[in-house]
Amino acid sequence: HKKCHLIHYLRLSHHLIILNYLICTFDKLKSVSSEDINITDAVFDGVEVRVFEPPAKRDERLKRSVVYIHGGGWALASARTSLYNNLCRIMAESLNAVVVSVEYRLVPEVCFPEQFHDALRATKHFLQPDVLAEYSVDPSRIAISGDSAGGNLAAAVCQQLSKDEHLTIRPKLQALIYPVLQAFDFNTPSYQQNMNMPVLPRYVMINYWIDYFNGNYDLAHSLVINNHTALDVGQALSFRGRLNWTSLLPSSFKKNYKPVIQTTGKAEIIREIPALLDVRAVPLLAENETLQLQPKTYILTCENDVLRDDGAMYAKRLEHAGVEVTLDHFDDCFHGCMIFTIWPTDFSAGVQTRNSYIKWLDENL
């Protein structure tokens, strides 16, 4: 079993191996509290979390809260790396909020749907009245949030929570940072425009999806040209209207790009990986009845990012479903920029996007 995991992991591109080596081997921080923020590690229904708590203020009864799910292609990073530790600490300080950062399990240890289940279990545990009381959290002022693959999990968890009739407490807001939301079309204008963009080129995003689904890398070329959602793939037909970027995107995003729709494709890909059409993995494909149940939403997108259009299309679909949405687009920013605010990767794009995100939470939570 361990040998299989090792072989699978070695198949990851050099890009992923080097990145994970840098951010996870050397950079796990212990839960060191400061005068301003109390940081503790806990377990919520079997899932590890890191909790950031500001000190109680005089006459203050209950605090706001954010459940945060980190990015990294479902395979990289950690709630304990300095990048996410720093982000969550700053959020807790700036918002005077309890921040719960979810340490879900990663590829190759587990694949879909386990990352989703971990995020859902931890969030549902936190939303219990007695747990919220333990952390002095106001049950009516909770947001769920995440970046990149964490934005994917946050959106999927939020959809699941909205359909759970037994829940008495649900998030007031969702805030998604350059989220990855679909694996239906790898030729949206932003995928075409940014296919070779550093940090997240298209082939790397496709590899993340294949690893998340425990699929075969031999499928990568078929996915790149949308063979898995060709017009003769019956399973995909009913979803096509939910992801028609020609009607969902503004002309400033569409530019002169043309849709890539194959007439004949490979239906066996969906049979082999049915999760490609599973809304728990691809929340952009959810039905309108589910979207109508979503809370007030913030979506941050960057121009230099293959995932720009995922976020923009989700914003438009939520808007059509009657949800109040803020689409916060940054023309000069790139995928992943928001966590790069610490030397030696302290980019102005990181500070700019982080400040905008925190400002929206502060005004709406």
The catalytically annotated residue of 70, 117, 228, 335 is 335
Fold of 4-363: Rossmann fold (3.40.50)
Q: State the catalytic residue, choosing from 211, 305, 310, 328.
A: 305
Q: Which of 65, 101, 148, 190 is an active site residue?
A: 148
Q: Domain locations in the chain? A: 4-363
Q: Which residues contact 266 (CB under 8 A, 6 or more apart)?
A: 222, 227, 228, 230, 233
Calpha distance 104→112 (Å, rounded): 12
Residue 45 annotated as catalytic: no
Cα-based distances in Å from 169 to 137, 148, 172, 318: 12, 25, 9, 21
Q: Give the pLDDT score at 31.
A: 63
- pTM score of the predicted model: 0.93
Q: Judge whether 198 and 192 are in contact, CB under 8 Å.
A: no
DSSP E strand stretches across 248-356: 296-304, 325-334, 341-342, 345-346
Per the CB < 8 A criterion, the answer to whether 106 and 20 are in contact is no
What are the pLDDT tens digits along the chain (365 aa)? 434 444 444 445 455 555 555 555 555 666 666 668 999 999 999 999 999 999 988 777 899 999 999 999 999 999 999 999 999 999 999 999 999 999 999 999 999 999 999 999 999 999 999 999 999 999 999 999 999 999 999 999 999 999 999 999 999 999 999 999 999 999 999 999 999 999 999 999 999 999 999 999 999 999 999 999 999 999 999 999 999 999 999 999 999 999 999 999 999 999 999 999 999 999 999 999 999 999 999 999 999 999 999 999 999 999 999 999 999 999 999 999 999 888 788 889 999 999 999 999 999 99
Q: Could you count the other beta carbons within 10 Å of the beta carbon of residue 292?
A: 13
Phi, psi values for residue 244, rounded to 5°:
-90, 95
Predicted local confidence at residue 24, as pLDDT = 57
Q: Are 50 and 80 in contact (CB under 8 A)?
A: yes
Q: How far is CA 232 from CA 48, 226, 240, 286, in A?
A: 44, 12, 12, 21
Q: What is the pLDDT of residue 57?
A: 82
335 labelled catalytic: yes
Strand positions, DSSP E, the chain: 38-44, 47-53, 63-69, 97-103, 137-147, 173-177, 296-304, 325-334, 341-342, 345-346
Which tokens in the block code for residue 315?
A: 């914003």
CB 81 within 8 A of CB 29: yes
To which residue do tokens 């949405």 refer?
325
